[in-house]
A and B are shown apart, each in its own frame.
Chain A
Amino acid sequence: MLGLTRESGRRRDLPWSAVVDPVPETRSGLLDRYQPVGAFDEAFDDDGSVRDTYSRIVERFRELDVDEIKRLEKLVADEFRRQGITFTVYSEDEGTERIWPMDLFPRLIAAAEWDELARGLSQRVAAMNCFLADLYNGGGQAIADGVLPRWLVMSSQGFERNAMGIAVPHSAHCNVAGIDVVRDADGRYRVLEDNLRSPSGISYVVENRAAMAKACSWLFYDHAVQPTEQYGQMLRSTLESMAPGGEDDAHIVVLTPGIFNSAYFEHAFLARSMGVELVEGRDLVVDGHNVYTRTIEGLVKVDVIYRRIDDHFLDPVAFRPDSTLGVPGLLSALRAGTVTVCNALGNGVVDDKGVYPYVPELIRYYLGSEPIIDNVTTYMMWDPDQRREALDRLDELVAKPVGESGGYGVLIGPHATEQQLDEARATIEAEPRDWIVQELVQLSTLPSVADDRLEPRHLDLRPFVLTGERTQVFPGGLTRVAMRRGSLIVNSSQGGGSKDTWVLAPEAP
């Protein structure tokens, strides 16, 4: 049981289980009218029987009534509000901080299933790191060998000319990757999107678990759940391994745009959980190609910057001159090799959805193996044949702008009007490089609280992969859930919520 949380282990093994949070004894029928919606349901078979992984958790929820669910929801929301666990929706006029709702029914991933997923994620991130190292420091062999077209890479908004030739320890360009995966109608995991710049959400993974453990500790008694609170240690050891020259006592900082950034809570969480300083651009200064923090006792040299600022705001000398968030001269320090910026400059080229269709081929090219997790079937709009086919069937497909994230600009064909479809076709015809079109994946569902019952809601998963001297897949991930019936939009900025994600430990032999 080493490495398991206090809440893990079986109920009968815990001597204190009888005195804390007794399991409610009522049987309410919250799940009695549960009807899958034609997608793969992770908790129930097609015939309505409960899958093995979920048998105990479903039983526990059958014992809850609506009032208890509402009480627990309020408990969790109050906890989040009190702690200020919030995010910002920029388009909203009212207030800047909003709580992200967490659904109480957790997502469970069996140990064997997770192992397979983790292997696939490690493989994918390894290949993308190889590509970034090749592109920025290796002469672009993959392009030269025709794995993907040069014009596509060079025209990517994420391609960063200033990153060429900057040495990156261990060739680990992407130290923190968030890979969005979904399960299709057959239950197979597929990669929907890669996030290799500043993927956010890990703080909610950890805080969701903490809130669940406080509000519903009895739910954990039947399961051996892998803990999440060690993320800070994992990230710190990853970043320490990225220090130039491999210093033992590296000075690490987290660079945030400031308290008004949508993910400020997460930035503070990361700094606190690693035990390092959270700095803004104005706290840093470059002198003699070294980066320093400004302290009351003078300047202190920095070795590693975990930045949560986009490339173009990092250094007003090299990038946007109007940026007040960055550090003048940072690029010169990077070039001098006195500091490491994590994630590295220029990773956005792989986040480009136009490059996404080539990732399976990059896996074959660099690693010589078949992808363990497939992409969603994708049509490249710059290919005339694929474009014609996709536009003819646009009412069945999903169109995505290559440079957007957060669900912005996505057109879901079956939910669009004729006028919207015509407008999308015209836009794509005009700028085919800016779009991809994908087969619609009926995201898998799980029971989620909806008023007085549990109903199926669609969800995705963002696991996090850490790479420094070695690669580690964090055992857990951010499960985002669409809060409206039938909706496939899970993004927090579009009204989605989240679930606690339980990666189960292997059964004891």
Chain B
Amino acid sequence: MILARHADALLWTGRYLERAETTSRCLNYAANSITHLRGDEARAEGELMVRTLGLQEELEAVGPLESQPQLVAFLLSDTDNPGSVVSAVIAVRENLRSVRDRIPIELWEEANGLYLRFPFLGHANVAPAGLHEVLLMVRRACLAISGVLNEGMRRDEGHAFVVVGRMLERSIFTVGLLEASHSDARGVMDATRMLRLTSSLQAYHRQHGNAPDPDGVVRYLLHAPDLPRSVLSCLNRAEEGLTGLGANAAALDRARRKAALLRARLELGEVEEAMTSAPVATLQDFAAQLAGLASDVHAGIVPPLAMATVQAQYVRPGHADEPGNEGEPGHADEWAQ
């Protein structure tokens, strides 16, 4: 049986690992595409990328994007931005460090190795030369970590939580990408962009030819059961992971049921149908339900016992933090035997 804290750390390991890889991929795409754009178009692409990654609030704290280097710093090395590559790498390492005793040594070494390859860690807003190489290195390291997770880790509850975390993060990103693409101020959905940002271009070409249409791509990214980054595929794996946590983890039942419900909505075409009349609102609603699923998983990790009640039995009598107990006769001696 896994400790609740360990479950939490491994869930977040999965989420941050996915985030590090996704942000690296998106930043690489943005840096390349902006090179070919000028003025307002470049700014619009930068802002779309921030919206795609769901980092609008974090950007507001920094201020409006004025230049490409600023975008790079924000998404790569800004440690105040929890969605930056460096923040995600640090979070992966710190979460794995707190469960070092239960993960394969190789998994820790890969994560620690990735962290050590950032010489500028701790110095926010320093973008290295050779951005592409750095981002490629991060993505390769993330793949190496995934490899150890898949091939070197026992299929226990810990592994299930990493998978659930990754699938939640991935599905939230894909839905966020679709929603941002639909609401692009430029009024055109770029089908190739959506496929590139989900590493799905090659797979789409093989299955549907070389001329992607936006609506077809949206359906593909929502429904394709064999595409690792489709929402349906993510929900299937998240549900599988939650089911594998054992019948005794009753507190996770709610999350399991919600995952199944969301999967069913996709499979039955309910989401696609609703999108024909109100695509953005439908995707926003789906994104909110995915966020709710993530909250339910977090809530389910805390054991179903009123911990506060148990802790209160042992709060120091007469301690200032416990109003009403001050000077209560007899209590102090009970603890001083």
* B303-A83 in contact (CB<8A): no
CB distance from B239 to the nearest CB of A (A): 17
* B101-A82 in contact (CB<8A): no
Q: Which residue of chain A lies nearest to B112 when distances are taken between CB atoms in the complex?
A: A84
B248 contact set on A, CB distance < 8 A: 297-298
Given known pairs A316-B316, A321-B319, the reply for A296 and B245 (CB within 8 Å) is yes
CB distance from A433 to the nearest CB of B (A): 25
Q: Which of A58-104 contact B (CB under 8 A)?
A: 81-84
A335 close to chain B: CB less than 8 A: yes
Q: Which of the segments B3-11, B140-148, B270-278 contacts the partner chain?
A: B3-11
CB distance from B163 to the nearest CB of A (A): 15
* B1-A278 in contact (CB<8A): no
* A285-B3 in contact (CB<8A): no
How far is B108's CA from A300's CA once the two chains are assembled, in angstroms? Answer: 27
Q: Which of B295-337 contact A (CB under 8 A)?
A: 300-301, 303-305, 307, 310-311, 313-316, 319, 335-337
Instruction: State which of B6, B300, B314 has its C-beta within 8 Å of the C-beta of A329.
Output: B314
How far is B213's CA from A187's CA once the two chains are assembled, in angstroms? Answer: 84
A268 close to chain B: CB less than 8 A: yes
* A295-B101 in contact (CB<8A): no
A378 close to chain B: CB less than 8 A: no
B102 close to chain A: CB less than 8 A: yes
Q: Which residue of chain A lies nearest to B99 when distances are taken between CB atoms in the complex?
A: A278
Q: Which residue of chain A lies nearest to B334 when distances are taken between CB atoms in the complex?
A: A332
Given known pairs A295-B303, A296-B252, the reply for A286 and B316 (CB within 8 Å) is no
Instruction: State which of B97, B108, B109, B305 has its C-beta within 8 Å of the C-beta of A298.
Output: B305
How far is B1's CA from A326's CA once the two chains are assembled, in angstroms? Answer: 22
A228 close to chain B: CB less than 8 A: no
Q: Which of A324-351 contact B (CB under 8 A)?
A: 328-329, 331-332, 335
* B4-A259 in contact (CB<8A): no
B2 contact set on A, CB distance < 8 A: 295-296
B100 contact set on A, CB distance < 8 A: 265, 268, 272, 278
A332 contact set on B, CB distance < 8 A: 314, 335
Q: Which of A276-324 contact B (CB under 8 A)?
A: 276-280, 282-283, 285-287, 293-300, 316-318, 321
CB distance from B309 to the nearest CB of A (A): 9
CB distance from A82 to the nearest CB of B (A): 5
A179 close to chain B: CB less than 8 A: no
How far is B97's CA from A55's CA once the two chains are assembled, in angstroms? Answer: 42
Interface size on B, residues (CB 8 A): 44
A277 contact set on B, CB distance < 8 A: 3, 6, 101-102
* A283-B97 in contact (CB<8A): no
How far is B117's CA from A81's CA once the two chains are assembled, in angstroms? Answer: 11
CB distance from B156 to the nearest CB of A (A): 12
How does the 8 Å CB contact mask read for A229-272 relative to B, with 1 for contact and 0 for none? 00000000000000000000000001000110000110111011
B251 contact set on A, CB distance < 8 A: 296
* B310-A287 in contact (CB<8A): yes
How far is B101's CA from A278's CA once the two chains are assembled, in angstroms? Answer: 6
What's the dominant secondary structure at chain A's contact region? Answer: mixed
B98 close to chain A: CB less than 8 A: yes
Q: Which residue of chain A lies nearest to B337 when distances are taken between CB atoms in the complex?
A: A335
Given known pairs A286-B310, A296-B252, the reply for A321 and B316 (CB within 8 Å) is yes
Q: Which of B1-55 contact A (CB under 8 A)?
A: 1-7
CB distance from B26 to the nearest CB of A (A): 29
* A83-B112 in contact (CB<8A): yes
A295 contact set on B, CB distance < 8 A: 1-4, 303
B288 close to chain A: CB less than 8 A: no
* A285-B311 in contact (CB<8A): yes
Q: Which residue of chain B lies nearest to A282 when distances are taken between CB atoms in the complex?
A: B5
CB distance from A307 to the nearest CB of B (A): 15
* B3-A293 in contact (CB<8A): yes
A265 contact set on B, CB distance < 8 A: 100
How does the 8 Å CB contact mask read for A160-178 relative to B, with 1 for contact and 0 for none? 0010010000000000000
Instruction: State which of B98, B303, B335 has its C-beta within 8 Å of the C-beta of A259.
Output: B98
B185 close to chain A: CB less than 8 A: no
Instruction: State which of A285, A293, A331 has its C-beta within 8 Å of the C-beta of B310.
Output: A285
* B335-A298 in contact (CB<8A): no
CB distance from B307 to the nearest CB of A (A): 7
Q: Which residue of chain A lies nearest to B248 when distances are taken between CB atoms in the complex?
A: A297
How far is B249's CA from A377's CA once the two chains are assembled, in angstroms? Answer: 61
Which residues of B pack against A, CB within 8 Å?
1-7, 94, 97-102, 105, 108-109, 112-113, 116, 157, 245-246, 248-252, 300-301, 303-305, 307, 310-311, 313-316, 319, 335-337
What are 29 contact pairs spanning A and B, CB under 8 A? A81-B116, A82-B112, A84-B112, A162-B336, A265-B100, A269-B101, A272-B102, A276-B101, A277-B3, A277-B102, A279-B3, A279-B5, A286-B313, A294-B307, A295-B2, A296-B7, A296-B157, A296-B249, A297-B250, A298-B305, A316-B316, A317-B314, A317-B316, A317-B335, A318-B335, A318-B336, A321-B319, A328-B316, A329-B313
> Given contacts A277-B3, A296-B245, could you give 13 more A-B pairs where the C-beta distance is less than 8 Å?
A83-B108, A162-B336, A272-B102, A276-B101, A280-B5, A283-B4, A286-B314, A294-B5, A295-B2, A296-B249, A299-B303, A332-B314, A335-B337
Which residues of A pack against B, CB within 8 Å?
81-84, 162, 165, 254, 258-259, 264-265, 267-269, 271-272, 276-280, 282-283, 285-287, 293-300, 316-318, 321, 328-329, 331-332, 335
Top 10 A-B pairs, shortest CB-CB distance = A329-B314, A271-B101, A328-B314, A268-B100, A278-B101, A297-B248, A295-B1, A272-B101, A317-B316, A268-B101
